[in-house]
Amino acid sequence: MANENENAQETARKKIILSGIQPTGTFTLGNYLGAVRNWRQIQNEYQCYYFIADLHSMTIHIDPAKRRQQTREAFALLLACGIDTEKSLVFVQSHVHAHAEMGWIMDCCSQFGELSRMTQFKDKSAKHPDNINAGLFTYPSLMAGDILLYQADYVPVGADQTQHLEFTRDIATRFNHTYGETFRLPEGYFPKAGARVMSLQDPTSKMSKSDTNPKATIYILDDEETILRKFKSAVTDSEAEVVYREGKDGVNNLMTIYSAITGESLDDIARDFAGKGYGDFKEAVGHAVADELQPIRDHYAELMNDRQYLEAQMRDGAERASRIANKTLNKAKKKVGLLLPQ
């Protein structure tokens, strides 16, 4: 009977989704259409926890004042994008002490060999040979702690983070095996609707925050004029035909963006723009994107002007997150034989 009850409770429980984003600069249209917009859309269906991964950002050197500013901005951006603190839990990672503590427990469960095999570690240490710090090496252990602390069911992650999620499952399995059932095993969450947005200047590579060509990337705080200008200079081809076809990477990208925003199918878009030049189409895409981003920009400006409100939201998020995280942390501490203060 007790078991049946537990099963019923388990079925009624909203599944938990957790994700973190590093405070390393304004989001791009790619972040928005590929991730954050979807985070907003799933808030009713799932219990969502979203946090700004400021501890993870320490693995790369950033000027402290800039880190502080970017953390505030990233937090405000999540809210501006429609993440609702009444429905979801939004917080800054370092405000919840359990992350650092759990990170240490996870460090002690991680093997040198497996951490050495992480492609992100290899990539980032090649990119920053002058700062191969221990945090960069144990980054996946900290991330595993983030996820396991909240007993997350699903973690939406991009392709670059799937190895870390696998690693999280490995650690959790090992821990549960050694110390008894403690952590839920998280799964990847891959939304159907997540669009992959490519660079406007090189449509064979992903639109990215770190692109050195400013015309390649739309930032979600770009104003209308900037957005229209960037779309106007987007790379296409010489066919002057708005149709989604292999080899037309530039046009395919514009159509993907337009479709993601308007909800129109690729066929409908091709029909609507048949016989029209790329100039018209680029303008339509630019306007659609600018209209979508306008309310976000306005809301963001309001939030950044109301520091007290923003700080109150951060405090509230941290308190609520700490209560949940501390439960799991204490459970894990007991399991490994750390004495809890009485």
Query: From ligand AMP, ligand TRP, none, which one binds at residue 20 (CB under 5 to 8 Å depending on kind)?
Result: ligand TRP
CA 146 to chain centre: 13
Under the binding rule (CB under 6 A), the answer on residue 21 touching ligand AMP is yes
Catalytic-labelled residue, pool 15, 87, 122, 206: 206
* Closer residue to ligand TRP (CB): 118 or 195: 118
Question: Known catalytic residue: 124?
Answer: yes
Q: Which two tokens stand for residue 24?
A: 């390393």
Question: Known catalytic residue: 206?
Answer: yes
Under the binding rule (CB under 6 A), the answer on residue 288 touching ligand AMP is no
Q: What DSSP state is assigned to residue 189?
A: -
User: Among the residues of the chain, which ranges form H helices?
Assistant: 2-12, 29-31, 37-41, 54-57, 64-80, 98-107, 112-116, 119-127, 134-149, 162-179, 224-232, 249-262, 266-272, 278-305, 307-336
Under the binding rule (CB under 6 A), the answer on residue 171 touching ligand TRP is no
Give the number of residues in contact with ligand AMP, rule: CB under 6 A.
13
The window from 153-161, 173-181, 267-275, 282-290 that contacts ligand TRP (CB under 6 A) reads: 153-161
C-alpha distance from residue 81 to each of 24, 33, 40, 112, 326 (Å): 17, 11, 7, 39, 29
- C-beta of residue 105 within 8 angstroms of C-beta of residue 58: no
Question: Known catalytic residue: 276?
Answer: no
* Closer residue to ligand TRP (CB): 147 or 303: 147
Catalytic-labelled residue, pool 15, 124, 276, 327: 124
Among 31, 93, 110, 259, binds ligand AMP (CB under 6 A): 31
* Closer residue to ligand AMP (CB): 62 or 332: 62
Contact residues for 312 (Cβ-Cβ < 8 A; gap 6+): none
Under the binding rule (CB under 6 A), the answer on residue 325 touching ligand TRP is no
Query: From ligand AMP, ligand TRP, none, which one binds at residue 31 (CB under 5 to 8 Å depending on kind)?
Result: ligand AMP
> Residues 168-207: x/- map of binding to ligand AMP (CB under 6 A)?
----------------------------xx--------xx
Query: From ligand TRP, ligand AMP, none, which one binds at residue 53 (CB under 5 to 8 Å depending on kind)?
Result: ligand TRP
CA distance 293 to 207: 17
> b/e for 179-205, b at 16 or more Cβ within 10 A?
beebbbebeebeeeebbebbbbbebee
DSSP labels, 101-168: HHHHHHHTT--HHHHHT-HHHHHHHHH-TT---HHHHHHHHHHHHHHHHTT-SEE---GGGHHHHHHH
Burial class from Cβ neighbours inside 10 Å (0-12, 13-18, 19+) for residue 15 reads middle
The window from 25-33, 140-148, 279-287, 329-337 that contacts ligand TRP (CB under 6 A) reads: 140-148
Under the binding rule (CB under 6 A), the answer on residue 36 touching ligand TRP is no
* Closer residue to ligand AMP (CB): 37 or 282: 37
Residue number of the CB closest to ligand AMP reads 34
> Residues 144-163: x/- map of binding to ligand AMP (CB under 6 A)?
-------------xx-----
Under the binding rule (CB under 6 A), the answer on residue 53 touching ligand TRP is yes
Q: What is the dihedral of CA 217, 218, 220, 223, to 10 degrees?
A: 130
Residues forming the active site = 124, 206, 209
Binding site for ligand AMP (CB under 6 A): 21-22, 30-31, 34-35, 157-158, 196-197, 206-207, 209
